[in-house]
Chain A
Amino acid sequence: MSELFELSLCEVRDLIRSGNAGAEDVTRACLGRIEATEPSVRALLARRDEDALEEARRMDRERPADLSDKPLWGVPVTVKDVLALKGMPTTAASKILENFLSPYDALVVERLKRAGAVILGKNNMDEFAMGSTTEHYAFQVTTNPWDASCVPGGSSGGSAASVAACQCFASLGSDTGGSIRQPASLCGCVGIKPTYGRVSRYGLLAYASSFDQVGPLTRTVEDAALVLQVIAGHDERDSTSSPVPVPDYLAAMRGADDLSGITIGLPREFFGHEGLDQGVADACSRAVDAARSLGASVVDVSLPHTEYSIASYYILAAAEASSNLARYDGVRYGHRTADPVNLEDMYTRSRTEGFGPEVQRRILLGSYVLSAGYYDAYYRKAAQVRRLIRQDYLDALASCDMLLAPVSPVPAWRIGHMSDDPLRMYFMDIFTLSLNLAGLPGLSIPAGMSGNLPVGIQLMGRAFDEGRLFLAGDKLTRALGTCNQHAPL
């Protein structure tokens, strides 16, 4: 018999609906699990144990007869600390926001609450979502629940670690260059980066606005489909929010018994990458074999500009970051230096004291590529290459329904292993960045193990075709035996 916290989100939701468990029972189970695992995992920056329990009790008392518009009724979740949660610390893991309490909810938080979710706390992350390890922190290092000596990935590393450790049934993360898919892969979870514009960015602390998307991390594809259903849809407060209607993702996921009729493309530049770990390559092979067994056709495709994605991404994202993070000036909120002698001194010392080294590096690089004399050579050039990269995807997806590829070149690595070499760390993002440049959706699913560490693969699709990714991801995780896996803590 599984413990309550080990169930999938949909299983526990059904248990609550059928009256076989209360919201309080489930919330208590997760809080107990947090008590047991948090000393080693350190995935949470802020907790709201008492408030969450009180909400759960009230939900049990005031439970409506009809829960059809409350798809997450009583389900405990967490959110990455880059999302505004009213009355709670919202720090982006940065000292510059250490004492900031958000006066409002992010759109995705509003929708979680409206759907009946119980929010347990805020997850650790790389500062301002800049990093791939959750080591670029102001407050604490999160460890990988599968091996505490390893990183959980990043930047949504706290979210992935919480889900893998069964502290919650889902967490919302954000993906600017792979920050949902990569930690999901390194922690053996499911994570989806939706199409750019599918989910409102209102209340998401901005890093690189033309890349950032919010999405769920869960232990099953079905759970991810359900949570995305809750948070997706148009929001007039985000001008990039898409008016395209949101389909029924669970219906799309269940729309076929196998993968016959689906063509999967394998981008040869990804599989031929010299840094690809054998364990990751083997996991991809297993997934491809499973897809074939399920009736899918598999073809080779090319994304010829892949090798330029790191340079293009880091120029554009740094440029946007330098602009977005100009707002942190010590005037209206966040850290202000002590005894500034004048306004400029206040800006400079507040920002220098408040931002960590990686954030400062990206602001400096962004200032450089946007400055007169270098704008055309770097910023404009990178945006031109971005169009070529997107065209590569559109061409590839004209000959197949989705792409299958590794997420990270290697499984989780040791804490501190690459933290002194930023460029080497950027190379770890080679398989995830280009999808953000293109603005297309990607679903990371667990595909087995490499030694004692989980390995994920990603399915990348056409714009707004998340439903088909869920269909394939659900079938593949069931075939691979990786549905609802959790770390052996």
Chain B
Amino acid sequence: MSLDKNDFLHLCRLSRLAPDDSVQEEMAQQCSRILAYMDKLAEVDTSGVEPLYSPVFHDCAFREDVAVRRCSRADILAGAPATDGSFFIVPRIVEGK
């Protein structure tokens, strides 16, 4: 599979990444080469094979959904780039007053 420039830019948008113009072509070529190699899997007959998404050897255990406070609000907010002391602050999303 080969990625053209538009495909690559679409992937970047999906991934919320914007690599610099100077490296875009090289990155797109590297991704194309890697994806071309991945096409090797087409050689394998997988008809009737159930996908294995997790190798766990047990049924995942359920527990009661009880809220537990493991960190204080202050501890959590301490790592945030911007807060008002109670909440995370981000750029305005809704325009207007």
Interchain nearest-CB distance for A177 vs B (Å): 13
Write the chain B residue with the least CB distance to A97. B79
Interchain nearest-CB distance for B88 vs A (Å): 6
A342 to B57, CA, bound (A): 45
**Which B residues are in CB contact (< 8 Å) with A215?**
none
A195 to B93, CA, bound (A): 45
**Which B residues are in CB contact (< 8 Å) with A101?**
78-79
**Which B residues are in CB contact (< 8 Å) with A388?**
44, 46, 49
Does any Cβ of A come within 8 Å of B33's Cβ?
yes
Given A312-B41, A331-B88, A383-B51: A242 and B16 within 8 A (CB)?
Answer: no
Write the chain B residue with the least CB distance to A383. B51
Given A336-B82, A364-B17, A381-B46: A311 and B31 within 8 A (CB)?
Answer: no
When the two chains form their complex, are residues A196 and B91 in contact, meaning their CB atoms are under 8 A apart? no
When the two chains form their complex, are residues A387 and B54 in contact, meaning their CB atoms are under 8 A apart? no
A380 to B50, CA, bound (A): 9
Does any Cβ of B come within 8 Å of A296's Cβ?
no
Does any Cβ of B come within 8 Å of A371's Cβ?
yes
When the two chains form their complex, are residues A352 and B18 in contact, meaning their CB atoms are under 8 A apart? yes
Contact with A along B65-97 (1 / 0, CB 8 A): 000001100011011111000001011110000
Contact of B79 among A103, A197, A310, A381 (CB under 8 A): A103
Does any Cβ of B come within 8 Å of A357's Cβ?
yes
Contact of A308 among B35, B41, B52 (CB under 8 A): B41
Does any Cβ of B come within 8 Å of A333's Cβ?
yes
When the two chains form their complex, are residues A439 and B35 in contact, meaning their CB atoms are under 8 A apart? no
Given A103-B76, A333-B80, A387-B51: A363 and B41 within 8 A (CB)?
Answer: no
Contact of B17 among A352, A383, A437, A463 (CB under 8 A): A352
For window 33-57 of chain B, which residues contact chain A by CB distance below 8 Å?
A: 33-35, 37-38, 40-44, 46, 49-57
When the two chains form their complex, are residues A347 and B16 in contact, meaning their CB atoms are under 8 A apart? yes
When the two chains form their complex, are residues A331 and B90 in contact, meaning their CB atoms are under 8 A apart? yes
**Which B residues are in CB contact (< 8 Å) with A333?**
79-81
**Which A residues are in CB contact (< 8 Å) with B63?**
236
Does any Cβ of B come within 8 Å of A360's Cβ?
yes
When the two chains form their complex, are residues B27 and A240 in contact, meaning their CB atoms are under 8 A apart? no
A148 to B32, CA, bound (A): 34
For window 412-466 of chain A, which residues contact chain B by CB distance below 8 Å?
A: 422-423, 426, 437-439, 463-464
Does any Cβ of B come within 8 Å of A169's Cβ?
no
A334 to B51, CA, bound (A): 35
A235 to B60, CA, bound (A): 12
Contact of A349 among B18, B70, B81, B90 (CB under 8 A): B18
Does any Cβ of A come within 8 Å of B22's Cβ?
no
A197 to B88, CA, bound (A): 34
Does any Cβ of A come within 8 Å of B6's Cβ?
no
Contact with B along A345-373 (1 / 0, CB 8 A): 11111011001010011011111110100
Does any Cβ of B come within 8 Å of A332's Cβ?
yes
Interchain nearest-CB distance for B64 vs A (Å): 10
When the two chains form their complex, are residues A463 and B57 in contact, meaning their CB atoms are under 8 A apart? yes
Interchain nearest-CB distance for B53 vs A (Å): 5
**Which A residues are in CB contact (< 8 Å) with B81?**
330-331, 333-336
Contact of A385 among B14, B44, B93 (CB under 8 A): B44
When the two chains form their complex, are residues B41 and A352 in contact, meaning their CB atoms are under 8 A apart? no
**Which A residues are in CB contact (< 8 Å) with B37?**
310-311, 423
**Which A residues are in CB contact (< 8 Å) with B51?**
380, 383-384, 386-387
**Which B residues are in CB contact (< 8 Å) with A242?**
56-58
**Which B residues are in CB contact (< 8 Å) with A340?**
91
Which of B30, B33, B42, B76 gathers most chain A CB within 10 Å?
A: B30
Which of A244, A334, A361 gathers most chain B CB within 10 Å?
A: A361
A77 to B18, CA, bound (A): 39
When the two chains form their complex, are residues A363 and B80 in contact, meaning their CB atoms are under 8 A apart? no
**Which A residues are in CB contact (< 8 Å) with B12?**
364
When the two chains form their complex, are residues B56 and A197 in contact, meaning their CB atoms are under 8 A apart? yes
When the two chains form their complex, are residues A423 and B34 in contact, meaning their CB atoms are under 8 A apart? yes
Write the chain A residue with the least CB distance to B72. A103
A175 to B35, CA, bound (A): 24
Write the chain B residue with the least CB distance to A387. B52
A380 to B52, CA, bound (A): 9
**Which A residues are in CB contact (< 8 Å) with B30?**
361, 422-423
Hey, which bits of chain A sit against chain B, CB under 8 A? 100-101, 103-104, 195-197, 210, 236, 239-240, 242-244, 305, 307-308, 310-312, 314-315, 322, 326, 329-336, 340-349, 351-352, 355, 357, 360-361, 363-369, 371, 377-378, 380-388, 390, 422-423, 426, 437-439, 463-464
Top 7 closest pairs, chain A to chain B, by CB: A439-B55, A383-B51, A336-B81, A387-B52, A384-B46, A333-B79, A103-B75
**Given A341-B91, A384-B49, 10 other A-B residues pairs in contact with their CB atoms under 8 A:** A196-B55, A210-B55, A311-B40, A332-B79, A342-B93, A355-B17, A361-B31, A378-B41, A383-B53, A384-B51
A-B contact pairs, 22 of them (CB 8 A): A103-B71, A103-B76, A103-B79, A104-B70, A210-B54, A240-B54, A240-B60, A242-B58, A243-B58, A305-B44, A308-B43, A331-B90, A360-B15, A361-B30, A364-B31, A365-B34, A368-B3, A371-B11, A378-B41, A382-B38, A387-B51, A423-B33
